[in-house]
Chain A
Amino acid sequence: MNNYKLKYFLFNSNCLLINWPEEIDEKINNDVNDFKNVIESNFNNISEVRSSYCSLLLIFEKKINNIVELENKLDELYDSRMTLDKKDRFLWHIPVCYDKTYALDIDFVATQNKVHTKEIIEKHCQQIYTVYLIGFLPGFLYLGSLDKMLHIPRKKEPRLRVPKGAVAIANEQTGIYPQESPGGWNVLGNTPICLFDKSKNNPCFAKPGDKIQFFQITKNDYKEIEKQVGLGDYRINKKTIND
């Protein structure tokens, strides 16, 4: 197991930020999420631990009084942590319709990156993405890394209404808009599945460290799956990842 040099930063009176080396790296992100589980089971005065690509944010119920003592305790926990704290990780298969009705920017990406639309879809579906974090909007999954051929900057001016379910790309990332929202990512398609269910204890099916792979569906499939999702009958295909 890798041991990274952690850096602590007092964010405000009751929040502590823990920084790993600043990189988008699966090993680092897995270490972040494993340590999150360790912290959650070793502190009883923390109201929430939030994870990101290469950092954790610890939100304490009360003001942090002794930062040195806290850092020592965290260092000790980090050095003695075990791989046993790993939660099961899953690979999720997500249906995406790349039909022109939904693929608002696929022609633009094709022209910009000089790739055929068919190849864009192939490349987008080929890759197995890591869920690095959930942020931006309730249930928005940040997925990486995208095939180099598809790297494209965010739009200069964000679109005012990116539709719910839009599957989009920006730089080396891809993601899915869980609800209609303004947004600057280039939209390649749309998924009929629900990414955020507020009635559930775990509103997102996937968690950081899980994997996602997209597969292409037709417009008719889309309508059919949409119906099943509406009735609560659609089960997303998942596999346990053994690593």
Chain B
Amino acid sequence: MIKVLDPGFYTSIQDAGRFGCQNYGVPVSGSMDQGSANMANRILGNPNSKALLELTMIGCVLKFECNTHISITGSDMDPKLNNLSIEMYSSLEVKKGDVLSFGRVIDGFRTYLAFKGGIDSEKVMNSRSMYNGLTNQFKLNKNDEVHLNDFSKELTGKHEGLIKKMVMSNILECYKGPEFNMLSKQNKEFLIEKEYSISNNHNRMGYVLNQKIDNNLKSIITSHVLPGTVQLTLGGRLIILMKDAQTTGGYPRVLQLTAKSIDILSQKKTSSIIKFQLIN
């Protein structure tokens, strides 16, 4: 078990996502930067499906009540074990009584903290990913207890391949969205050629961009959206839907980000610059 001494800005339990129930309006959820989350699990020899912690902007402070091994990937929040700096992207043994602390992000926006064997929290519809209204809580609070199985043995089955660090790029690769071709030639050029900055309105549901595109599009009859769908509102706003987004929407879907680009965007913060690049 670990005890939350300070939850930080927004720390939640996530896994690979909640699949097969989007027909009931249930969001996919799961780690925003799935690539970094997978890497954290792999370093410990965990399958990608194991639940871990996703830290956002300002990290948490945790006290271990059991022995285990941990790994930290994604953005650098200056992690420390008992006040001594520790390395990211490698496995580390922790003992009962140890205190793990994180600060503010140095680069990126989200950090992943994995534990050997994964977190053993409530499973709702086959997933441990926290989501408001579905799981009992949507983020960790002070004094919460997070359950882990004690692991006192030496770590075996460790990841021996290439360690892939979080991708820091400003280019978001995307497919044309279902309504891309409804855009005027000028709108298309604007969308692909301009640089965009991220507004202060961004969270696990979506990222709203600052620059607007004047357009003559009409809303569509409510249809399917996915994490990575870029919607263009009638008022000209671009909204990139993320993991906790609703399953359907009525705004034209102009672009669709690749999985890799969703990972990249998850590490962006207010004012970060991005650019779309079509791959089909």
Contact = CB atoms under 8 A, between A and B. Distances in A.
Contacts of B280: 10
Contact of B125 (A9, A53, A198): A198
A133 B19 contact: no
B248 A133 contact: yes
Contacts of B259: 12-13
A205 B133 CA distance: 18
Given A11-B175, A50-B247, A53-B223, A138 B258 contact: no
26 contacts: A11-B178, A11-B224, A11-B226, A12-B258, A12-B259, A17-B223, A22-B221, A48-B22, A49-B23, A50-B224, A50-B247, A51-B23, A52-B223, A53-B221, A55-B223, A135-B25, A135-B222, A136-B25, A137-B133, A138-B24, A138-B133, A138-B134, A196-B25, A203-B24, A203-B125, A204-B24
A48 B20 contact: yes
A24 B134 CA distance: 30
Contacts of B134: 138, 198
A42 to B, nearest CB: 18
B26 interface: yes
A178 B226 CA distance: 21
Contacts of A50: 22-23, 224, 247
B264 to A, nearest CB: 15
Interface in B235-251: 246-248
A181 B133 CA distance: 9
A162 interface: no
A23 to B, nearest CB: 7
B155 interface: no
Contacts of A23: 221
Contacts of A140: 25
Interface in A127-141: 133-140
Contacts, number: 93
Given A11-B256, A23-B221, A139 B178 contact: no
A134 B27 CA distance: 12
B220 interface: yes
Nearest to A13: B258
Q: Which of B27, B175, B224 has the most CB of A within 10 A?
A: B224
B21 interface: yes
Nearest to A196: B24
A142 interface: yes
A47 interface: yes
B217 to A, nearest CB: 13
A213 interface: no
A98 to B, nearest CB: 25
Contact of A17 (B26, B27, B178, B258): B178
Contact of A53 (B24, B27, B222): B222
Given A48-B22, A52-B223, A53-B223, A135 B178 contact: no
Contacts of A216: none
B108 interface: no
Contacts of A30: none
A47 B246 CA distance: 19
